[in-house]
Amino acid sequence: MSNPPTGPNDPVGRLYADGYDLVLQNGHLVVRRIPYLAPSGVRTDGRLVLPVNDSGGVIADAIGDHTIWFAGEEPRDEAGTALGGANPRDIGNGDTVRYMLSFKPPNGSYTSLYEKVRAYARILSDVAHMPQLWAKYRERPAALVAEVRSS
């Protein structure tokens, strides 16, 4: 497959420029190294997977809704509640993603592939960084409040 365009209006190029580790695999955009909170409470890395269409080198979201698949252990929120539902999907070459994530934005849909990937990456990684933050300030909660207010 030829390399997709990476201009300023290209969502894949913008994600790449933002530092995301991306690969196109069997009609899917795979975003690797997404930090998330595993069921054990440990921060680890997983993958966001989104079916895409390649029309003349222009990559677009193939499903066009507010959902995305996740590969890794079942991601959790800060309370330990599952963020996704089991919904296995074969993405080719013997690779299967196990979880569907569904977070609808207030307006009902994401305006672009770029916005969708960034939103899901943020949802997962924000939670993944919380345990480290709380562990750092467990004995000094007032210091945590002061740091959050100053940022």
Helices (H), the chain: 11-17, 113-137, 141-150
What per-residue confidence (pLDDT) applies to 95? 94
Residues in a beta bridge with 89: 97
Q: Angle 94-12-63 (CA atoms, 0-180°, nearest 5)? A: 60
Per-residue model confidence as pLDDT tens digits over 68-97: 999 999 999 888 889 999 999 999 999 999
What is the distance between the alpha carbons of residues 39 and 48, in angstroms, rounded to a whole number?
17
Beta strands 84-90 and 43-55: pairing type?
unpaired
Alpha-carbon gap, residue 77 to 44, rounded angstroms = 13
How far is Cα 46 from Cα 31, in angstroms, rounded to an integer?
Answer: 9
Hey, which residues does 21 pair with through a beta bridge? 32
Other CB atoms within 10 A of residue 145 CB: 11
Query: What's the pLDDT at 130?
Result: 76
pLDDT of res. 56? 84
Measured distance CA(135)–CA(41) in Å, rounded: 12
* Residues in the chain with pLDDT values less than 50: 1-5
Radius of gyration of the chain (CA): 17
Q: Which two tokens mark 106? A: 């207030």
Q: What is the pLDDT of residue 72?
A: 97
Q: What per-residue confidence (pLDDT) applies to 3?
A: 47
Dihedral sign for Cα atoms in the order 14, 20, 24, 26: negative
For residue 58, what pLDDT is reported? Answer: 87
